Amino acid sequence: MYGLGRMGITHLSHTQGYMLSKGLNCKFDIIDPSLKTMRFRPIRKNINIIGRSSIHDITDYDYAFITSPPNRHNENLREAIKVSKKIFIEKPAVIAVETKQQITENFPDRKIYVGYVLRKNLCVQKLKDLCNQLDDYEIHIDLQSNIGLNEVSGWRSKLSSGGGCFNEFGSHVINLFQYLSVKTIGAVNPIVMEDSRFDIDTGQGRLTGNWCSDVRKSMYHVRIVSKDTTYYSDLQYIESENGYYFNPRQLTSVLPYYMRGLDFALQSKDFLEGSIDENDFYDALTTDTLMAKVLG
Amino acid sequence: MKLILGDNQFFGVNHSNLAKAEAYRHQFSEPAVVESFIKGARELGVDEIFVSTHPSADDLVSFCNASNVKIHPAIPYAHAMNDLAAAQGVVRLIVQRFRPSHTDLFKLILSYLLGNGLFTPKSTVRRFVNSELNLLGKIDNKGTLFLNNVFTDLIIGAGCIEFFQYFTSVAKELGYKPGFVTYNYNFFQNNKFHDCALCVNYNLRGFLSPSFDEVQELKKCYEVSVMGVMGSGIYDFDEVLRDLNRLDPFGVVYGTSRLERLKKMKEELK
């Protein structure tokens, strides 16, 4: 595991919880420069902080998790592909073209998943099915975050320093747009691009985001507009003007281990069980490209 | 079977419909409306409430104290912890909420140096519980102190089982019955914690819910309450009531923005 911050701890906990529910034990080696003083002894009986040089002693890790800051993803992925066949990268991918080429040529059997967790949302999957039945449609996605610009400090608050709301959650919005779109995405033109909000015209609809802080938790509003009807979803349920209604709570859903919401639990379970759609990784790389295009 | 009022509506929470959540937030934006609702619930005979350590929960606690309503605190408020970790980092969060006593810090360092690894000291759990309860202010009528599901389930996965043992001990020292809210009920079936309460998501459809028989098994070891029974309003009210009367849990946590729904629930539950 590369990085034991908020998401590192979450993935460690979920992975171990899942394994324990199956009667399996697991051992973790963590690479985290901020914990280098802890390399001396195990921090728990099955958790070691190791140096980067030690990783090459073991070349058959069952899984690798890249949960470091995004600017370290590429370097960590280049290392992880040599030691593990299943690799999870937290979003955004931020992977160089040369790395993608290296994977395609030398490590084609690697299963890599980027944590665009909304793809596992049951409403999003249902919306995808509905989109597949439509001839032509527009996609409008609006995301309002519960964290205001004034609550975020340092580099995270400024677009110019790699933060701002677009870098913080724009990748989720763009990746979701890609997932729901059946067309090759051409234009992504920014209309507004500020530290606190963004508004992008895609030619197939609008993508907007806002650090508004007056909602309890992040809220997605997705509208699929076709000539016959408009589907609306807040990713908790779907409804349409012509009476369609879907709510995942109408379904039976049993998981071996549950944590941090159904989308996250499903994502982790699928990754651990190897149910990975390889297109998701390449879509995540396209998300990188589209984000770069938006930011000019 | 006890009917315990849930608190989601007071804080603008609906897990199935974010527009409804916003409507709740507007409905209960004035403290006088919350106060009146609590009084109304008390008049219906609903005298227990589940309260998360939401940033604006102190008013709710005051109104409950004034009406002699028993309070079951649920700590921590997951969104606040997550936002703090996102905004300030995990290290600062740990230093703020989980700093151990000097003696325990020494023991931790010693344990690490001896190769026994780190553990959760009791002083850490005590500091965490106290700092969370302080957010609610003074509680007159103490019920069960619940560890909320996000935290319970994170700790199960992290394998820090000692946290649960210390939590039960600290809760009892503070005059509460210890309890855990969890989606991973199998863990508590396999690891017994005596004299504790459990609160699990339960619904007719089996959506992230134990089955009827699994709840019966859990009841043999724990005081089991159920939550999420209405699926944020999408299940048939009468069907849910019939099922709950058959299930017969210790308690039902039910949040609603309408007193007439609460009245019906109170009248129909056996």
Is pLDDT at A201 greater than 80 in this prediction? yes
Q: Range with the lowest mean pLDDT among A116-120, B40-44, B105-109?
A: B105-109
* Residue with token string 């709570």: A249
Average pLDDT, chain B: 89
Q: Which amino acid is at A212?
A: C
Q: What is the pLDDT of residues A6-56, one digit of tens each?
A: 889 999 999 999 999 999 999 999 999 888 877 878 888 899 999 888 877
Interchain contact, B206 vs A254, CB within 8 Å: yes
Q: Cβ–Cβ of B158/A153 closer than 8 Å?
A: no
Task: Indicate the range of A48-62, A95-109, A193-207, B4-18 predicted with least confidence.
Answer: B4-18
Window A:205-234, CB contacts with B under 8 Å: 215-217, 219, 234
Residue B84, pLDDT > 80, answer: no
d(CA A61, CA A83): 6
Please check the confidence at residue B226 and state whether its pLDDT lies above 80.
Answer: yes
Residue A288 has pLDDT above 80, yes or no: yes
Nearest residue on chain A to B158, alpha-carbon basis: A13
Integer Cα distance of B73 and B148 in angstroms: 9
* pLDDT value of residue B15: 63
DSSP A155: G
Under DSSP, is residue A22 helix (H, G, I), strand (E, B) or coil? coil
C-alpha to C-alpha distance for A66 and A275, rounded to whole angstroms? 18
Extract long-range pairs of A234-243: CB within 8 Å, 24+ residues apart: A234/B17, A234/B18, A234/B19, A235/A118, A235/A121, A235/A123, A235/A124, A236/A123, A236/B15, A236/B16, A236/B17, A236/B18, A237/A123, A237/B16, A237/B17, A237/B234, A238/A123, A238/A126, A238/A127, A238/A130
d(CA A249, CA A236): 9
Nearest to A258 among B86, B158, B208 (CB): B208
* Cβ within 8 Å of B, A 3-32: 5-6, 9-10, 12-18, 20-21
- Mean pLDDT score of chain A, rounded to an integer? 90
pLDDT at B214 over 80: yes
CA angle A196, A169, A207 (to 5 degrees): 80
Given A5, A42, A255, which is nearest B117 (Cβ)? A42
What confidence tens digit (pLDDT) does each residue in A127-146 have? 999 999 998 999 999 998 87
**Chain segment B16-41, per-residue pLDDT in tens:** 666 777 788 888 888 899 999 999 99
pLDDT of residue B253: 96
| Complex confidence, ipTM | 0.87
Identity of residue A115: G
Residue in B237, B228, B233 with CA at minimum distance from that of residue B206: B228
Contact between A146 and B79 (Cβ < 8 Å): yes
Whether the link from the prior residue into A92 is cis, omega within 30° of 0, is yes
